[in-house]
Amino acid sequence: MLSPAEWEVLALSLRVALSSVLLSLPPAIGMGWLLARCDFRGKLLVDGLCHLPLVLPPVVTGYVLLLMFGRRGWFGPLLEALGVNLAFDWKGAVLASAVVAFPLSLRAVRLAIEDVDPRLEGVARTLGAGPWRVFFTVTLRLAAPGLWVGALLAFARSLGEFGATITFVANIAGQTRTIPAAIYTYLNQPGGEVAALRLVWISIGLSLAALLGSEWAARRSRRFGNAS
Amino acid sequence: MGRKAIPPVRQRIVTLSLRLQRQLSDFCLNVDVVCHESVTAIFGTSGSGKTTLLHLVAGLTRPDAGRVELDGRVLYCSTEATNQPPEARRLGFVFQDDLLFPHLSVDANLRFGYERLAKAERRFEPGQIVDLLEIGPLLRRMPQHLSGGERQRVALGRALLSSPRMLLMDEPLASLDQGLKSRIIPYLRHVRSDLDIPILYVSHSVAEILELTRQVLVLRRGEVLAHGDFFDVARNPEVLPLLDEYGFENVLPVELIHGNEGAARCGEQLLRIPPCDRPAGTRLFIGVRADDIILAQQPPVGLSVRNALRGTITSISAAGATRLVTVDVGHKLVAKITPEAVDELRLAPGGQTWCLMKTHSLRLGPEID
């Protein structure tokens, strides 16, 4: 059905998308908690900066990443000293996807944490649990369905990531050629439409599954919220 | 599970000293009191700062300045920069809404605080508290499948199992109906007398307070208006209108002579109460609203009213256009009457009077253990 090259594209896409979820979720949880529970000066600005990748043209995001993490970028020497190479590498694709998907998971996580009654956290404190324990056993536990929503949305967004990735780490078979980049490549080849179409169907299927999954998680969280 | 009964303990003297300031949206909470009683009720209308006061004591809200000390341990002090976090204060908090953890079973809720205690710090075992509060059949259920009264009992049990040095209760019965309240009060009385845990109890129900304690602290717009024995405090002309705002209900301890016939004894005097099928000798509280008591110069003749308790007037206070007459019938009762009636009957402190009460204006309250 699929050619070896297409299987490679599919496997790489899934690997990049999963890794980008894992990379973006922890900061989304931290930032989501900060925005949901704390008031501080410049909160609006932080909020805006976090959501910037959602509205920026992806090519701008990719170019900024290149300026920062490219070989001759601001952090280039540091990365080189650490032995990390992002340019033209699948890890660079993960970073690009994670940055683009971050606002989506942040939104879901923040809403989920805002829905947790802070008085439950207060009760847990009076029962002898310290702030970290309360965060993990009460806040995150009750926000869990929202975290799933965020993770699945981020996953779907990562699968579709094209502009930032191709600007930052180009379109290299086996390294950075994910489904969208592969479709783009096939469409530019004579006779590539059939292969492109197969990937289009796969892309639609995967994205739909992720969206349905996140909708299911959102319903679960609402049911949980009503019951509590 | 080991079901060792909890051994009775002698009431020790509690000393909770509070000196707290905190700016709220439209007034400043400013409290400076020392409480020695095992149960102190905090009374005040909504928005008087009662709940904030409990949050400040628990460490859930930070005061602007002041000092909180419980039995010699400083929990908060602005000048010494001491501020113990809530988890270190070991104060059990019971909220108006039970606030059980919705993702945990009743059993796991109960053990939440217990499991965080070192073995040597645990004063009670789950089995003992489960027995005391009679929540054994609920252990495996999830909180959303409990009734209001059950949830509040579980919340109380959860707080008790964290072996608190003091219980802070914020209108724990406000969301329950009268019948359930009467069923929960005896558990609170057990906590007070059997477990030796002092309680700060916020409420705006006079009856609820009197069923638990005589010691009351009255808050108005963040200031302590009065503090002391309820019947002394109630004579304060500024306190009376507050007590009256939610309907002043007296409570009277009685002993059943014959439950089905509604015969009961209040001290030496007999009382007709609504019938109830409880055994003779049961002691319980009877609620009677200050509005529902009629004062008479003589025992009634040719009236349908069944009850006439003889007593001595101890005080008469003015609250706007009404007079509140406190009568000692072996237990103090407050009757609300008009100034004209006071003049006409020539009521004065030290004088004798009869308190008339219709049987059906009496509320059967919680049993007294």
Q: What angle do CA A30, A31, A35 make, to 5 degrees?
A: 125
Q: Starting at the edge strand that comes first in sequence, how are the strands of the sheet with B322-328 ordered?
A: B294-296, B352-357, B307-319, B322-328, B332-337
CA distance A133 to chain B (A): 10
Question: Tokens 């008591």 identify what position?
Answer: B293
CA distance A3 to chain B (A): 47
Q: Which amino acid is at B163?
A: S
Whether the pLDDT of residue A200 is over 70: the answer is yes
**Longest pairwise C-alpha distance within chain A:** 69
Instruction: Of A51-60, A101-110, B105-114, B320-329, give the lowest mean pLDDT range.
Output: B320-329
pLDDT at A77: 84
pLDDT at B8: 56
pLDDT at B300: 84
Looking at domain B250-368, does it have CATH number 2.40.50.100? yes
Instruction: Of A201-205, A223-227, B344-348, give the lowest mean pLDDT range.
Output: A223-227
Residues facing A171 on adjacent strands: none
CA B33 to each of CA B55, B58, B67, B83, B243: distance values in angstroms, whole numbers, following the listed order? 16, 16, 11, 19, 20
pLDDT at A58: 92
The CATH code of domain B16-247 reads 3.40.50.300
Answer yes or no: do B158 and A127 touch at CB < 8 A.
yes
| Mean pLDDT of the region A50-71 | 91
pLDDT at B103: 92
Supply the mean pLDDT for chain A: 89
Whether the pLDDT of residue A225 is over 60: the answer is no
Q: How confident is the model over A139-167, as pLDDT tens digits?
A: 999 999 889 999 999 999 999 899 999 99
Q: Which of B85, B90, B93 sits opposite A123 (nearest CB)?
A: B93
E strands within B95-246? 166-170, 199-203, 215-220, 223-229
On whether any CB of chain A is under 8 Å from the CB of B3, the answer is no
Evaluated on CA atoms A6, A11, A14, A16, the torsion sign reads negative
CA distance B255 to chain A (A): 39
Per-position pLDDT tens, chain B of length 369: 445 666 555 556 788 989 999 998 888 999 999 988 889 999 988 888 899 999 999 999 999 999 999 988 899 998 888 899 999 999 999 998 889 999 999 999 999 999 999 998 888 899 988 988 889 999 999 999 998 889 999 999 999 999 999 999 999 888 787 777 888 888 888 888 888 888 999 998 888 888 889 899 999 988 999 999 888 887 787 887 788 777 788 888 899 998 888 899 988 899 999 998 889 899 988 899 998 999 998 888 888 888 999 999 998 888 778 888 999 998 889 999 999 999 998 999 999 999 999 998 998 888 887
Interface mutation vs chain B, best among A126, A142, A220, A226, most B CBs within 10 Å: A126
CA separation for the pair A56, B38 (Å, rounded): 63
Q: What is the domain partition of chain B in residue ranges? A: 16-247, 250-368
Whether the pLDDT of residue A227 is over 70: the answer is no
pLDDT at B1: 44
Residues 50-79 of B with CB under 8 A from A: 55, 58-60
CA separation for the pair B169, B185 (Å, rounded): 13
Q: Which fold has domain A4-227?
A: MetI-like fold (1.10.3720)
Whether the pLDDT of residue A226 is over 70: the answer is no
Q: Which amino acid is at B79?
A: T
Evaluated on CA atoms B219, B223, B224, B230, the torsion sign reads negative
| Mean pLDDT of the region A32-57 | 92
- In the numeric block, which tokens belong to residue A38? 């704390």
Answer yes or no: do B162 and A138 touch at CB < 8 A.
no
Q: What is the domain partition of chain A in residue ranges? A: 4-227
The string of DSSP letters for A72-97 reads: TSTTHHHHHHTT---TTSHHHHHHHH
Whether the pLDDT of residue A97 is over 90: the answer is yes
CA separation for the pair B17, B20 (Å, rounded): 10
Neighbours of B244 (CB within 10 A): 19
A213 membership: H or E segment, kind and range: helix A193-227
Q: With bands split at pLDDT 50, 70 and 90, how would you rate the model's confidence at A228?
A: very low
pLDDT at B303: 81
Residues facing B336 on adjacent strands: B324
Counted across chains A and B, CB pairs separated by less than 8 A come out at 67
CA separation for the pair B168, B163 (Å, rounded): 13
